[in-house]
Amino acid sequence: MSDQKDTPILVVNHLNIFYGSFQAVNDVSFDVNRGEIFGLLGPNGAGKTSTLSAIEGLLKPRSGDISVAGYHIQKEPLHARANMGVQLQATSFQPELTIAEILRLFAGIYGVEIDQISIQKRLTEIGLASASEKRFGQLSGGQQQRVSLLISTIHYPQLLLLDEPTAGLDPQSRRQLWDRMEAIRENGNAVILTTHSMEEAEAVCDRIAIIDHGSVIAIDSPEAIIDCHRHDPEVINVSRKGKITLEDVFIGLTGRTVRT
Amino acid sequence: MERNIPKTSTVLSTLLRADFTTQYRNRRSLRMVLIIPLAILVSWKGLVPKIGGGFVLSSCITIGLISIGLMGYSNTIARDRDRGIFQRLRVSPVSAWTIMTSRLLVQIGMILIMTLLIFLVGYFYDGVVLSPLGYLICLIMTIVGGALYLSLGQAIVGRIQNPESVNSTSRLVYFAFIMIGMLGQFGALGKTVEVLVDWSPYGVVQKVLSGGLEPSTWSTNTGMSLLLTVVYTAIFATLGIKWFKWETKK
């Protein structure tokens, strides 16, 4: 266990994940530092969600180590999970419960004391002051996403994991989410997200890792990755407007073939 | 700031509050669980003098237990698994056994409510009066019998992933148990079926409950039924836990 400011909040070491004989993640290693937004990018089936699932403790890797806030995810899963917040790709809650009841449920699970006044305050902060007695299913996609994020951060986690958080959101909701991620970073906490949006990666991520066929093929800040690959023939070949973008580098590195 | 894991008792009470609220608001499931045993209890009023109050009450409670295990528990678990509700809980600092304990405690609560309701309707409408000890032993036996049907529900939801398939399978098994169980016990399906039903999950639970309601009639046969109830429960629970996956493949 450690809470030293200079140690990474997340350490992934030589991670290998198999589904039967198929290797989904191949010797993946990276760290995420406190006060950092870290993006996992890759085509469909590249191993992003498998990596994230292993960090969440939902998937048991064949080998490798993962520690969150100094806690090994396999050996001390509850301690590790207590220090992280997770927003899954498809989140749902019991349809019979109101938003206030869902907030109370997750506050209790994380050991956070919450009363009606603080529930109202937190809902007001995300612009959903009148939603406390509504059911999750009655909210719009953007509102559901805000509630999900509120629940993921109800215990002010040191590490927040977001699996494609902006998929299906309108530009306003997406910007609002980016602002929230940046606020989390400013508080000294870390965010790791998977995304297909290069715009998002460039806009909010301090560092990114590009994963393809289960392996990390590039890891650095978006600018550094662009600089490093701007003269690659494959990257120049896929460039559309003369200016090399992160998307050009991504397609140059992972290929033009559409993955399913 | 480092956060410690909350006390198990805090987490369990929080989960219980949410699960009881969910159960209470799920009126359709409540109706499904209560309507058939109560309908049988009311319609069998005339049979009480012939077949005995203990037999009538134990048959109705057995059907209620089958409803809870097959129609209530398995369908709720299948639905919540399909919607990713379990996955959301499993990424928080809650152990798997705490999640399932809360779910099972809610079902035990339902079992007790259903049993007490049957006792009350049996007493006031059918005029079934039994000894206080009989009611007490039966109440305890409903937990034992309920465990059998909850474990059967667990085996179904473990084996089958799709919630619609779980729903249709549990309905099929439910009606098969009721029809074959009741008709078989009355000898309407022949001697062989009667013997098979007697030692089936339906028959053993019904006998244990009947023996509990009238302790003076408790026999070796009832003891064997109790033993078989435990054996069936162990088999279904082992299979249900072994097969169970927390998420459905989409």
Percent of chain B scoring above 70 in pLDDT: 99
A115/A211 same-domain check = no
Specify the pLDDT at position A2.
Answer: 46
pLDDT at residue B4 above 90? no
Contact flag A79-B13 (C-beta cutoff 8 Å): no
Indicate the average pLDDT of chain B: 93
Q: What is the mean pLDDT of residues A163-188?
A: 88
pLDDT at residue A1 above 60? no
Contact flag A104-B91 (C-beta cutoff 8 Å): no
Structural domain harbouring B175? 8-243
Closest CB from A86, A90, A102 relative to B91: A86
Q: What is the mean pLDDT of residues B104-118?
A: 95
Nearest residue to B14 via CA among B22, B26, B24, B2: B22
Residue B93 counted as domain residue: yes
Residue B37 counted as domain residue: yes
Q: B219: burial class by Cβ within 10 Å (0-12, 13-18, 19+)?
A: exposed
Closest CB from A83, A94, A97 relative to B3: A83
A197/A256 same-domain check = yes
Would you place residue A142 in the very low, low, confident or very high pLDDT band (cuts 50, 70, 90)? confident
Distance from CA of B94 to the nearest CA of A (A): 7
Higher-confidence position of B2 and A63: A63
Q: What is the mean pLDDT of residues B219-236?
A: 97
Distance from CA of B81 to the nearest CA of A (A): 10
Residues of B in contact with A108 (CB under 8 A): 6, 10-11, 13-15, 17
Q: What is the ipTM of this complex?
A: 0.87
What is this structure's pTM?
A: 0.87
Taking the C-alpha atoms of residue B1 and residue B139, their distance in angstroms, rounded to an integer, is: 48
Contact flag A108-B11 (C-beta cutoff 8 Å): yes
Would you place residue A106 in the very low, low, confident or very high pLDDT band (cuts 50, 70, 90)? very high
Q: What is the mean pLDDT of residues B209-225?
A: 95
* pLDDT tens track for A242-254: 788 999 999 988 8
Residue B166 counted as domain residue: yes
pLDDT at residue A259 above 80? no
pLDDT at residue A41 above 90? yes
Phi, psi angles (nearest 5°) of residue A28: -85, 130
User: Token pair 């590039």 is at which residue?
Assistant: A218
pLDDT at residue A129 above 60? yes
A46/A167 same-domain check = yes
User: For chain A, what is the domain count?
Assistant: 2
**What angle do the packed helices B132-159 and B74-82 form, to 10 degrees?**
40
A132/A258 same-domain check = no
The count of other CB atoms within 10 Å of the CB of residue A20 is 5
Rg over alpha carbons for chain B, rounded to the nearest Å, is: 19
A72/A179 same-domain check = yes
A176/A233 same-domain check = yes
Residues of B in contact with A155 (CB under 8 A): 3
Residues of B in contact with A71 (CB under 8 A): none
Q: What is the mean pLDDT of residues B199-222?
A: 95
A221/A252 same-domain check = yes
CATH number, residue A186? 3.40.50.300
Contact flag A94-B22 (C-beta cutoff 8 Å): yes
Contact flag A58-B6 (C-beta cutoff 8 Å): no
A163/A62 same-domain check = yes
Residues of A in contact with B13 (CB under 8 A): 108
User: For chain B, what is the domain count?
Assistant: 1
Q: What is the mean pLDDT of residues B73-82?
A: 94
Specify the pLDDT at position A4.
Answer: 59
* pLDDT tens track for B33-51: 889 899 999 999 999 999 9
Could you give the C-alpha distances from A159 to A8, A45, A89, A192, in angstroms and in order?
A: 10, 24, 17, 7
Q: What is the mean pLDDT of residues A22-41?
A: 96
Structural domain harbouring A21? 1-83+159-260
**Residue in chain A nearest B28 by alpha carbon:** A96
Q: Per the structure block, which two tokens stand in for A86?
A: 């997770």
Distance from CA of B241 to the nearest CA of A (A): 17
A170/A254 same-domain check = yes
A120/A243 same-domain check = no
Sequence-distant (6+) residues with CB within 8 A of B213 are B53, B54, B57, B58, B130, B134, B135, B137, B138
Closest CB from A57, A69, A92 relative to B85: A92
